[in-house]
């Protein structure tokens, strides 16, 4: 998702992506390089996790995305013919496609920067959740909230958002969320499935509020379906909620113990100049300046606090003194590890990845 974000936002003008003189797209590299450099300067230790092969359960979702992209391309051509600039920008963003080459270039860039790269067997969010649950990283930086469904203890949103968007970083604590919702782990997974995920369709008429009410009343999707008025709430066929639940609980991941020791090394300055300047036509002085700031931070002994990367929001005024942990959750913002747009996965072949924050 982060690669996609950079391609949609960085250096974009209308329907034109940022490119070099050879016409090669470079927005993903520019966004990745300078955003990662800023994290390293702040003392944050990122770990990037790329998607592997999409699970079979996700095939319908991928087919729908392909269809939507084709529709966007068709609408884009019509907008160009009509000279509708607003529509051109809208549909050009929807037609962006991240390729294997874009992924491979980002991996090469990160390794030259001295940043660990992990390749997940399937979904990046699932792999990141495994790493966070075992204490290998602090949490997941992702826009895909399926990360919480996979069991990630902490999810950080907007960490990789371009600074021009000026959006606050948010941290979600899974334990707090379950406690405040009054759900156990299995009920939370079923709630997330009802609200929409990549592996199962949704039931028309059941939104977030009604889904929570039904899970609390019936205890599970299975219990809910036994009493559901199908004429009022038509259930899609197929509706693989059991398979989706099992995948969220037991996804295919590489156990943390089997991941090679992660090391954050000094950036390869000449290697970065060769790649970014000589091959991709970046400004040499900007690249060397960024590398210099990263190297300067390497002399510091400890990992920096997340708040050094952004401005923490002030604690909101509240009359409810009985919920300090909830107030703290809303006030905090965090950093480090994850995947997609607002629901939860990844695929190296499809160009998505997660970002993990390494421990000291």
Going along the chain from its start, the domains and CATH numbers come out as 2-164+268-311+331-358 (3.40.50.1010)
Q: What is the pLDDT of residue 352?
A: 39
51-60 average pLDDT score: 90
pLDDT tens per residue, range 94-110: 667 788 999 999 999 99
| Residue with more model confidence, 69 or 226 | 226
Q: What is the pLDDT of residue 80?
A: 72
**Does the pTM of the predicted model rise above 0.85?**
no
Least confident of 157-166, 251-260, 265-274: 157-166
Using pLDDT thresholds of 50, 70 and 90, give the confidence band for residue 323: very low
Crossing angle between the packed helical segments 2-9 and 100-112, to the nearest 10 degrees = 100
Crossing angle between the packed helical segments 174-181 and 185-195, to the nearest 10 degrees = 90
Q: What is the pLDDT of residue 338?
A: 38
46 DSSP 8-state letter: E
222-227 average pLDDT score: 96
Crossing angle between the packed helical segments 185-195 and 208-218, to the nearest 10 degrees = 140
Residues in CB range of 199: below 8 A, 6 or more apart: 55, 57, 58, 61, 193, 240, 243, 244, 247
Q: 10 Å Cβ neighbour count for 267? A: 23
Residue 270 has pLDDT above 90, yes or no: yes
Residue 359 has pLDDT above 90, yes or no: no
pLDDT tens per residue, range 178-223: 999 999 999 999 999 999 999 999 999 999 999 999 999 999 999 9
pLDDT tens per residue, range 123-177: 999 999 999 999 999 999 999 999 999 999 999 999 887 677 788 999 999 999 9
């Amino acid at each position: 998702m982060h690669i996609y974000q950079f391609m949609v936002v960085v250096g974009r003008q209308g329907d034109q992506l940022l490119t070099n003189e050879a016409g090669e797209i470079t927005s993903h590299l520019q966004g990745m390089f300078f955003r990662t450099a800023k994290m390293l300067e702040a003392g944050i230790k990122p770990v990037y996790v790329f998607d592997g092969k999409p699970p079979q359960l996700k095939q319908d979702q991928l087919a729908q995305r392909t269809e939507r992209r084709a529709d966007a391309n068709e609408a884009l051509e019509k907008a160009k013919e009509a000279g509708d600039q607003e529509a051109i920008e809208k549909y050009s963003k929807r037609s962006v496609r991240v390729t294997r080459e874009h992924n491979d270039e980002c991996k090469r860039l990160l390794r030259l920067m001295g940043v660990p790269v992990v390749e997940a067997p399937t979904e990046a969010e699932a792999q990141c959740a495994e790493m966070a649950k075992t204490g290998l990283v602090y949490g997941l930086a992702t826009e895909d909230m399926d990360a919480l469904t996979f069991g990630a203890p902490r999810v950080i949103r907007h960490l990789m958002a371009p600074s021009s968007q000026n959006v606050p970083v948010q941290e979600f604590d899974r334990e707090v969320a379950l406690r405040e919702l009054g759900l156990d782990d299995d009920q939370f997974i079923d709630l997330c499935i009802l609200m929409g995920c990549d592996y199962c369709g949704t039931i028309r008429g059941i939104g977030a509020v009604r889904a929570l009410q039904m899970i609390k009343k019936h205890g599970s999707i299975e219990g809910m379906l036994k009493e559901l008025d199908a004429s009022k709430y038509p259930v899609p066929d197929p509706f693989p909620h059991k398979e989706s639940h099992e995948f969220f609980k037991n996804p295919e991941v590489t156990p943390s113990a089997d991941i090679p020791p992660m090391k954050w090394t000094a950036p390869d300055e000449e290697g970065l100049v060769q790649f970014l300047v000589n091959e991709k036509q970046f400004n040499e002085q900007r690249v060397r300046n960024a590398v210099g700031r990263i190297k300067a931070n390497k002399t510091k002994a400890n990992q920096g606090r997340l708040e050094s990367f952004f401005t923490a929001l002030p604690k909101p005024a509240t009359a409810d003194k009985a919920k300090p942990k909830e107030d703290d959750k809303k006030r905090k913002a965090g950093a480090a590890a994850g995947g997609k747009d607002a629901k939860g996965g990844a695929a190296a072949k499809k160009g998505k990845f997660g970002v993990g924050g390494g421990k000291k």
